Amino acid sequence: METSCTITNCFGGSTTLINNTAYTTEVYNSIASVPRAMWQQVVPAAHTFLNYDYLTAFEACCSLNMGFRYVVFRKQGRLAGVATFQTILFDGNNIGTEESRKSQGWWPRLVNGIVNRMKMRLLVLGNVFMTGEYGWYFTDVKAPGAEEVAALQSVINELVQEAKTLKKPVSGLLVKEVFTDRLGAFPQLQKAGFFEFPVQPDMILDIDPKWQTFDGYLAAMQSKYRVRMRKALKDMDGIEIRPITLAEMEQHLPDIEDLYQQVVDTSEFKLATFRIQHIQYLMEHMPEKFWVDGFWLDGKLVSYISFYKHQGQVVAGMMGMDREAQKTYDLYLNVLLLVARRGIEHGAKQSVFGRTAMEIKSSVGAKPHDMYLYSRHVSGWKNRIVIPMLKLLTRNKPWRQRSPFK
């Protein structure tokens, strides 16, 4: 089966060279322009989200209104790192939901009303659809130091100027996401006007080798949590969980898109629009690192979740869910239990649940890993007004950390 994807690059332009004090930098406007062998020489085979095939799918199938840049760093002529950028058309209406806006006080509602009117082209260092440090990799350091952050900042400045020259100027800049224990030299971006602010933590389950099986995982829980999980599993009576095939993806595409949209409608922060063709491409070209599990009720798909294998982790990806079926079958908790189960079954060190719904994710054993974003507006005076507003609306809300294990 061949998936149909069209590359639409909002940047335009061709390969350029940028020099800074530590690195020589090559910039490409399409992953297809980057010599595959060169890119893969830098990126470890286990790094799924900078894998050449993954980036090919990402560029071809994610969004028609995105632009891309791929950067190769050399140090003294030697390949030393890579980075990925995207441009997206940011719409302030994608922050918050109708329900969340109604529940806010007058001041957040006023700020939200102003932000909702914002439209800007945003330059993003990172992956707009995945939570985590998936935008860069340097061969000589575990986390970017002063030289590496300076090199990334230099590229950002050059891309801003290039976009202006091409009459497709960017207004906002975003560096996402940096884990607390890997911040290193990133705070130096604040000297260039970037605002640093925490976002919802990535929820990650550390898998104890002693569990060995999913039943061992449940047995390690305190009684009240184990009872809750077994009840959720019992509520799934009549639902079959199994992988979705490529043929089924094609057959059930309208249902898959509808289930995805039902989840998106409840999301409070959406940077860009995901296209289902992306997961079709990955299923076809990266079956050893990517798959999709479906929840089937009498032959009808009522939920699904995609998974990536990445550097010893099983990472939860895109999800779709029927809201009405959720009420009857406790689907969301069962999806979370499946994330834990797949990590155990695949011998992973961690199952990565992503952001949002932190409390219920902690109830299945996931712990928060704090992360930071860096953002600024290209205009100095707007930067002092706009970014603090975004910071206010995206600040973390209080939640209760659960501890389910004995």
- Assess if residue 120 is contained within a domain: yes
pLDDT, position 5 = 43
Closest CA to 153 of 183, 204, 189: 189
Classify residue 233: in a domain, yes or no. yes
pLDDT of residue 385: 74
Is 4 among the domain residues?
Answer: no
Do 360 and 249 lie in one domain? The reply is yes
This prediction has a pTM of 0.89
Structural domain of residue 49, as residue ranges?
16-200+370-393
Q: Is residue 406 part of a domain?
A: no
Please spell the DSSP secondary structure of 252-277, one letter per residue: THHHHHHHHHHHHTT-SB--S---TH
Q: Does residue 286 sit in the same domain as residue 350? A: yes
Q: Same domain, yes or no, for 57 and 193?
A: yes
- pLDDT at residue 236 in the model: 95
Structural domains of the chain, count? 2
d(CA 43, CA 40): 5
Query: Are 176 and 97 part of one and the same domain?
Result: yes
pLDDT attached to residue 1? 39
Same domain, 242 and 353: yes
Q: What pLDDT is recorded for position 7?
A: 40
Helices 331-345, 223-234: inter-axial angle, 10-degree rounding = 110
Please tell me the predicted confidence (pLDDT) of residue 381: 74
Identify the CATH number of the domain in which residue 238 sits.
Answer: 3.40.630.30
- Give backbone dihedrals phi and psi of 164, rounded to 5 degrees, phi first: -65, -40
**CA 98, CA 120: separation in Å to the nearest integer?**
22
List the chain pLDDT tens, one digit each, 406 residues. 334 443 444 455 445 555 556 899 999 999 999 999 999 999 999 999 999 999 998 888 765 678 999 999 999 999 999 999 999 887 655 555 455 445 556 555 655 555 566 677 899 999 988 888 999 999 999 899 999 999 999 999 999 999 999 888 998 999 999 999 999 999 999 999 999 988 899 999 999 999 999 999 999 999 999 999 999 999 999 999 999 999 999 999 999 999 999 988 776 656 666 678 888 889 999 999 999 999 999 999 999 999 999 999 999 999 999 999 999 999 999 999 999 999 999 999 999 999 889 999 999 999 999 999 999 988 887 777 777 666 665 666 789 999 999 9
Confidence (pLDDT) at 6: 39
With beta carbons less than 8 A apart as the criterion, state whether 371 and 202 touch. Answer: yes
